[in-house]
Amino acid sequence: MDIDKVHRINNATIFLLPLIPLNKGIFDFVIPYKGKSSRLLNAYIYDVDVPKYHKNHVTLVHSNIQDIGFKVFEQELEDNKCYVDSYDIADTKYCVKVFKIPDSSLVSYEAFLRGKYSQFNLHDMSNVLYFDYLNQGNYLNKVFHKDEELRIKKEELLGTSLEGKELWSIYDPKYDLLHADLKDTISSNKLQSNNAFLNEK
């Protein structure tokens, strides 16, 4: 698996993680002499090896860097009303936290699984734009509303009609599910914080 693709913000992080009521910026921390970084690696639809959380949950992976704020950060995640479980991976370098999708967001969750972003409820659309893990809120707003200008640009790029279709691709199991290949890549490489995103433009 390409380590650069592991770094990229995946669809589950962009569209599912905001369904969990977290404080904005919870993953941010400062590395002395290096500056701002993020504890978040990515969110995933589920961990392939843990079947009991395959439905109506979201799984996030964060670094276990033990800085001065780590215990407060971890406690805040575990105190969240949607928190379900946690366990370590990659020789304890990373932690997996599992959250239950709130009942009020299940329609959006199901829409995500079908690649129907325009069918997210308004509250969840707002949360995706508020948390904006992609740092492209205006673009995502156009995706949600099947913006005509964006559709025309994508049609020109792809050379095909997108009339009535969604303007963002459906999730990719290779990058949106936590599986053995991905865990091996995480274990064998020193990862940096997420700065890139899927090339959807």
In the chain, what are the helix, strand and coil shares in percent, each to the nearest 5?
40, 20, 40
pLDDT in tens, 127-162: 999 999 999 989 999 999 999 999 999 999 999 999
C-alpha dihedral (182, 144, 141, 120), degrees to nearest 10: -80
Q: With both helix axes pointing from N to C terminus, report the angle between 122-131 and 137-144 in degrees, rounded to the nearest 10.
A: 160
pLDDT in tens, 56-99: 999 999 999 888 899 999 999 999 999 999 999 999 999 999 99
Classify residue 26 by burial, with Cβ atoms within 10 Å: 0-12, 13-18, 19+: middle
Full-model pTM: 0.88
Confidence class for position 199, pLDDT limits 50, 70, 90 = very low
